[in-house]
Amino acid sequence: MLHIVNKSPTQTRSLDSCLRMALAGQAVLLIEDGVYAATTGTAIESQVSDAAKRLKLFALKPDIEARGLASRVLEGITLVDYGGFVDLVAEHGTPNSWL
């Protein structure tokens, strides 16, 4: 399953819920303001780093770049472009968007 989170972790608890519910080996894609969770220096950095040990974590590269965060991406996060986004949906089937 592909989990998609588009809200900042400071705005909602969507990412927290997603990381608790996602099963080992599943994929999580951070898009829009959700990409803030993919960066160093945040209150949830350790939670995201721990999740990267059991989940496949991705962030949409254009959203990272648009927010000037390219130099702060956490280890364990794979950046994907829009084609990679489509590939993730094709690989993992129906996505689950966390609102």
Structure confidence by residue, pLDDT tens digits, 27-39: 999 999 999 999 9
Domain count, the chain: 1
Amino acid at 95: P
Q: Are 87 and 95 in contact (CB under 8 A)?
A: no
Among 49, 44, 47, 56, CA closest to 84? 56
CATH of the domain at 57: 3.40.1260.10
Q: Domain range for residue 39? A: 2-98
Q: What is the pTM (predicted TM-score) of this model?
A: 0.96
Q: How many Å separate Cα 37 from the centre of its chain?
A: 7
Q: How many CB atoms lie within 10 A of CB 71?
A: 8
Report the distance separating Cα 21 and Cα 28, nearest Å.
Answer: 11
Q: Are 8 and 35 in contact (CB under 8 A)?
A: no
Structure confidence by residue, pLDDT tens digits, 77-98: 999 999 999 999 999 988 999 9
Structure confidence by residue, pLDDT tens digits, 28-74: 999 999 999 999 999 999 999 999 999 999 999 999 999 999 999 99
